Amino acid sequence: MRGGRVAVVGGSIAGCAAALAAWRAGADEVVVFERAAGRLQDRGVGLALHNDRYAELEAAGYLDAAMPWVQLARRPWVVRSGTERAGRVIGVLPFPFRSYGWGSLWRELRGRIPDGVDYRTGAGVAEVLPEPDGVTLRLADGGEERFDLVVGADGYRSLVRAAMAPEARARYGGYLAWRGTLPVELLPEPAEAFPVPDATTVAFPGGHMIVYRIPGATGIEVNWVFYATPPAGSDTRFEDPTATPSRSTGAELQAHQLSVVEQHFPPFWQEVIARTPEANRFVQPMYDIAAPHFAKDRLVLVGDAASIARPHTGSGAIKALQDAAVLERALTASPDPDTALRAYDAERAPVGRAILELGRSLGLAQVQRTPEWTSMDQRAVDEWWAAAGGVGGIGGQAMRGAAPAGPST
């Protein structure tokens, strides 16, 4: 940057990484505006980072082995089969990922931001006003501040994206993810039904659930994500990405999930759902968006503000961290921020669009047009996964200029 003031709108994982990028690139001042006043580290969602992408981001200085993680290796696909308590395995796919807890990863990244960065909590942004050679932020408390560059790390409802490309809006993908976590001590017996390195996937007509261990606030937790279409007639409630589902909608969705679980899940996995505390459950609609540009004038987008990667791709957090690493590289390489942002946009916008399309393909294969799971064997699973784009697709794309890693899966 060779100086200047940089604002980062949003202080989550993407925002912390973007603040680190701007500081390392030479900004005189970096201010993070996080509207939440509470503790972001309390969020218990799990995420996974491909081993190869982790290695690239470790080399770039955004991740390290001291951050709590769990190594995963295999992804067995399981279906209900008669009285078999844990179900029947129809195939096993490699799964070379490191799992993290969202909150613990955020806490580690937040702790690595230099003291010189002004990280403000309970600081909402009401409006983003682009100007020649800068941007003015109108704040929720009525104040205004001007910056040389503003980074939008404010998620799929991004105000920064709305100022840059008002035509780009998130669109509902047609199905939901029910999420939950429970302490590993609450797992049912037998223990061998869910070995430590596995990301077990329970398949059923019209969806699947993936389950894996993550580091939690007080120990290892079990993280599950259950994908399915909602009850008939409820889709219209999710078409507006700014709307908040009502309490009655939440109760209806939970009842729908439990009905599917009772009908299609092996007993062991039914108990995993039943033992999940109510406070640890929530529902996440699937949305698609990719901004036409990731940078324009003095506005730049990272993470979900730029494009949403459906969780099937295993690349949401990866993409956010890669966005920050590439932004740092671009700002460092050029003394002119406009040239730097053009380079960033040229590298990252195609990646965002490619991951969006992969997420749609995987969503069709695993939720909206599922195969006859019970008739499949290892060969059928391998062929189906390749056709869906899973081979060499999930886990994100390598960053340009990164050192070659091992074979991708």
Domains and CATH numbers, the chain: 5-40+103-170+288-367 (3.50.50.60)
Give Cα separations from 49 to 207, 230, 298, 315 (angstroms).
Answer: 23, 28, 30, 7
**pLDDT range class, residue 159, cuts 50, 70, 90:** very high
pLDDT at 42: 63
Range scoring the smallest mean pLDDT among 83-87, 180-184, 403-407: 403-407
Mean pLDDT value across residues 96-121:
95
Q: What is the pLDDT of residues 319-338, one digit of tens each?
A: 999 999 999 999 999 888 99
Q: What are the beta bridge partners of residue 296?
A: 299
Q: How far, in Å, CA of 291 to CA of 355, rounded?
A: 13
The reported pLDDT for the residue numbered 39 is 66
pTM value is 0.94
Q: Retrieve residue 177's tokens.
A: 């993810």
Percent of the chain past pLDDT 70, that is, above it, reads 95
- Is the confidence at residue 96, as pLDDT, over 90? yes
Q: What is the pLDDT of residue 3?
A: 85
Mean pLDDT of 183-203: 96
Query: Which distant-in-sequence residues (6+ apart) come within 8 Å of 314 by Cβ?
Result: 48, 49, 50, 97, 394, 395, 396
In angstroms, the CA 262 to CA 84 distance is: 15
SS3 label, residue 50 = strand
Q: What is the largest CA-CA distance in the chain?
A: 69
DSSP state for residue 209 in the 8-state scheme: E
Q: What span, in angstroms and rounded, lies between the C-alpha atoms of 23 and 326?
A: 14
71: β partners: 98
If we measure between CA atoms, which residue out of 170, 133, 107 comes closest to residue 306?
A: 170
Query: What pLDDT, on a 0 to 100 scale, did the predictor assign at position 242?
Result: 78
In terms of Cα–Cα distance, which of 49, 366, 62 is closest to 214? 49
Mean pLDDT of 382-393: 92
Would you state the pLDDT for residue 233?
76
The answer to whether the beta carbons of residues 401 and 56 sit under 8 Å apart is no
Cα angle, residue 136 at apex, residues 132 and 142 outer, rounded to 5°: 155
Residue 295's pLDDT band, with cuts at 50, 70 and 90, is very high
Please choose, from the candidates 319, 288, 335, 349, the residue with its C-alpha nearest in 3D space to the C-alpha of residue 164: 349
SS3 152: strand
List helix spans (H) across 43-158. Answer: 51-59, 102-112
Q: What's the rounded Cα separation, in Å, for the pair 34 and 10?
A: 5
With cut-offs at 50, 70 and 90, classify the pLDDT of residue 248. Answer: low
d(CA 345, CA 327): 9
pLDDT mean over 82-91: 96
Share of the chain above pLDDT 90, in %: 85
Contact 105, 67 (CB under 8 A): yes
* Per-residue confidence (pLDDT) for residue 44, from 0 to 100: 64
